[in-house]
Amino acid sequence: MFILEELKKKNDEISNLTLSQVEELKKENRDREIAFSAALTQSSTEYIGPFSTEITLTYKNVITNIGNAYNPITGVFTAPLKGAYMFRIYVFGHGPTAATASIYKNEQRVVIAYCSRPQSDLNSSNGVVLILEVGDVVYVRLWRNGRLYDDQNNPNTFSGFLLFPLR
């Protein structure tokens, strides 16, 4: 009987230890929960551009911002921890003006999404995995003379998320 009671105590201790370890892992991983998705406008129908120089786009309609690393006032994502991140942009416009935007990392163009036709709807997308250090910034710029069309259907989006942290 004594042995059964001791075994039960040990099982309870292991169970409690396992639960505390799970809670600790959850707490640790909360810092690694980084994901955002934003659209250009809240609910208006408008053209953005063309401008005589490139401009940083501010995606004001925040759909998701886990970890609060995306700033809808500046349009800039700031890496809160070192890691591999995935970013994606979708651009939409109407011809004849090209719908063209680029993803930038720390003032360096990385990839573009580009579409140009004399008429009709224009859409393009692109994505990239980037290795970021704490404080690195990622944002989207509309090309000079480019133009996007946005409305309540959110055809222009900028999204990103942490794939995994790095040491």
pLDDT tens column, 62-87: 999 999 999 999 999 999 999 999 99
Distance between CA atoms of residues 154 and 42, nearest Å:
8
- Any idea which architecture 33-165 has in CATH? Sandwich (2.60)
pLDDT tens column, 44-54: 788 999 999 99
Q: Tokens standing for 18?
A: 């396992």
- Is-above-0.85 flag for pTM? no
Q: Tokens standing for 98?
A: 């090209």
pLDDT tens column, 12-66: 777 676 666 556 545 555 567 999 999 999 877 889 999 999 999 999 999 999 9
Mean pLDDT to the nearest integer, 150-161: 94
Q: Are strands 35-39 and 157-165 parallel, antiparallel or unpaired?
A: antiparallel
pLDDT tens column, 97-139: 889 999 999 999 999 998 887 778 888 999 999 999 999 999 9
For the chain, give every domain's residue range: 1-30, 33-165
Distance between CA atoms of residues 101 and 124, nearest Å:
9
Q: Please answer whether residues 115 and 100 qualify as being in contact, where contact means their C-beta atoms are separated by less than 8 angstroms.
A: yes
pLDDT of residue 37: 98
Q: Please answer whether residues 110 and 128 qualify as being in contact, where contact means their C-beta atoms are separated by less than 8 angstroms.
A: yes
pLDDT tens column, 139-148: 999 999 999 9
Q: Please answer whether residues 138 and 103 qualify as being in contact, where contact means their C-beta atoms are separated by less than 8 angstroms.
A: yes
Distance between CA atoms of residues 76 and 140, nearest Å:
8
Distance between CA atoms of residues 100 and 145, nearest Å:
9
CB burial of residue 24 (10 Å; 0-12, 13-18, 19+): exposed
The helix (H) or strand (E) run that includes residue 25 is helix 2-30
